[in-house]
Structure 1
Amino acid sequence: MLHRYMLGILLTLLFGFGSAFAHEQHQQSKTINSKLLNEQRTVTIQLPNSYFNNTAQKYPVIYRLDGKESIAIESAMLNKLHQSGSAPEVIIVAIENTDRTRDLTPTVNYDPRGPVGAGGGGDKFLDFIEKELIPYVNQSYRVHDFKVFSGASIGGLLVLHSFHSRPHLFQGHIAYSPAVWWADETTKKKVKQFVSSVSSYKNYLYMNIGSEHLSMRRVYDDLSTHVQKNKPSDLQLVLNTFNDVPHAMTSAAGVFNAYHTLFLPLVMPNEALENGVSSIKEYYQNVAFQRGEQIQPQEWVLRELAYGLVDKQAFKTAIEIFKYNIALYPKNAEAYNGLAYGYEQAKQFSNALEQVNIALQLANEGDSGLDVYKNRQARLKSLLQL
Structure 2
Amino acid sequence: MRGSLLVTVTLGVLAGAALAAAQDEPITVGIRTTIHSAVLGEDRDLQISTPAGYARSRGRYPVVYVLDGNAHFLQTVADTRFLAGQGLAPEMIVVAVATSANRGRDLSPPTKNEADLKDIPGGGGADRFRQFLVSELRPFIEGRYRTEPYRILIGWSLGGLFAIHTLLEQPDAFDACFAISPSLWWDNEAEVAKAERLWRSRVTSKNVLYLTHGREYNGIPRSVQSLTRVLGRTAPPGLRWEFEYLPKDGHSSSPFRAIYNGFDFLFQGWGLPEDTAIPSPAELERHYARLTEAFGFPCRPDEMRINGMAYALLGRKRIAEAIALFEYNARLYPESPNVYDSLADAQEADGRLDAALENCRKACRLAQEQSDSRIETLRMHLERVSRKVQER
Decide: shared fold, TM above 0.5. yes
- Aligned-pair distance for 1:72? 1.5
Are 1:227 and 2:231 matched, yes or no? yes
Counterpart contact for 1:268–1:283, Cα < 8 Å: no
> CA, structure 1 residues 40+246, in 2 after alignment: closer, same or farther (shift >3 Å)?
same
After TM superposition, the structure 1 = structure 2 runs for residues 191-230 of structure 1, keeping only pairs within 5 Å, are 191-213=195-217, 215-230=219-234
CA offset digits 1:19-47 (Å, max 9, x no partner): xx9641x4111211111111111111111
Letter in 2 for 1:178: P
Aligned-partner Cα distance in 2 for 1:282–1:69: 36
Counterpart contact for 2:87–2:272, Cα < 8 Å: no
Aligned-partner Cα distance in 2 for 1:81–1:40: 32
Aligned-partner Cα distance in 2 for 1:253–1:294: 26
Counterpart contact for 1:151–1:159, Cα < 8 Å: yes
Are 1:158 and 2:159 matched, yes or no? no
Aligned-partner Cα distance in 2 for 1:50–1:28: 15
> CA, structure 1 residues 63+215, in 2 after alignment: closer, same or farther (shift >3 Å)?
closer
Aligned-partner Cα distance in 1 for 2:116–2:294: 44
Letter in 2 for 1:90: M
After TM superposition, the structure 1 = structure 2 runs for residues 235-246 of structure 1, keeping only pairs within 5 Å, are 235-246=239-250
Are 1:132 and 2:136 matched, yes or no? yes
Aligned-partner Cα distance in 2 for 1:89–1:197: 36
- Aligned-pair distance for 1:146? 0.3
Letter in 2 for 1:232: P
> CA, structure 1 residues 294+255, in 2 after alignment: closer, same or farther (shift >3 Å)?
closer
Q: Secondary structure at the match of 1:138?
A: helix
- Aligned-pair distance for 1:69? 2.4
CA offset digits 1:308-366 (Å, max 9, x no partner): xxxxxxxxxxxxxxxxxxxxxxx979x9xxxxxxxxxxxxxxxxxxxxxxxxxxxxx9x
> CA, structure 1 residues 214+251, in 2 after alignment: closer, same or farther (shift >3 Å)?
closer
Aligned-partner Cα distance in 1 for 2:234–2:149: 28
Q: Secondary structure at the match of 2:56?
A: coil
CA offset digits 1:96-118 (Å, max 9, x no partner): 12300000001245336971554
Letter in 1 for 2:54: Y
> CA, structure 1 residues 126+59, in 2 after alignment: closer, same or farther (shift >3 Å)?
same
Give 1:293's match in structure 2, choosing from 291, 295, 298: 298
Give the match for residue 48 of structure 1: 51
Aligned-partner Cα distance in 2 for 1:27–1:59: 15
Counterpart contact for 1:203–1:236, Cα < 8 Å: yes
Are 1:122 and 2:93 matched, yes or no? no
* Aligned residues between the structures: 278
Give the match for residue 102 of structure 2: 99
Are 1:33 and 2:30 matched, yes or no? no
Letter in 2 for 1:190: K
Counterpart contact for 1:154–1:178, Cα < 8 Å: yes
- Aligned-pair distance for 1:282? 8.9
Letter in 1 for 2:82: K
Aligned-partner Cα distance in 1 for 2:49–2:252: 23
Aligned-partner Cα distance in 2 for 1:210–1:34: 34
> CA, structure 1 residues 296+178, in 2 after alignment: closer, same or farther (shift >3 Å)?
closer
> CA, structure 1 residues 214+38, in 2 after alignment: closer, same or farther (shift >3 Å)?
closer
After TM superposition, the structure 1 = structure 2 runs for residues 329-348 of structure 1, keeping only pairs within 5 Å, are none
After TM superposition, the structure 1 = structure 2 runs for residues 139-150 of structure 1, keeping only pairs within 5 Å, are 139-150=143-154
Give the match for residue 284 of structure 1: 289
Letter in 2 for 1:148: I
Aligned-partner Cα distance in 2 for 1:198–1:121: 28
Aligned-partner Cα distance in 1 for 2:228–2:185: 13
Q: Secondary structure at the match of 2:178?
A: strand
State the Cα RMSD in Å.
3.4
Give the match for residue 58 of structure 1: 60
Letter in 2 for 1:207: L
Letter in 2 for 1:286: L
Counterpart contact for 2:87–2:301, Cα < 8 Å: no
- Aligned-pair distance for 1:269? 6.5
> CA, structure 1 residues 114+204, in 2 after alignment: closer, same or farther (shift >3 Å)?
farther
- Aligned-pair distance for 1:215? 4.1
Give the match for residue 343 of structure 1: none
Aligned-partner Cα distance in 2 for 1:22–1:196: 53
Counterpart contact for 1:106–1:161, Cα < 8 Å: yes
Give the match for residue 75 of structure 1: 77
> CA, structure 1 residues 219+89, in 2 after alignment: closer, same or farther (shift >3 Å)?
same
Letter in 2 for 1:243: P
- Aligned-pair distance for 1:295? 4.0
Letter in 2 for 1:150: I
Unaligned runs of 5+ in 1: 1-20, 271-279, 302-330, 336-364, 366-386
Letter in 1 for 2:61: Y
Question: Identity over aligned residues, as a percent?
Answer: 28
Aligned-partner Cα distance in 2 for 1:125–1:192: 24
Q: Secondary structure at the match of 1:201?
A: coil
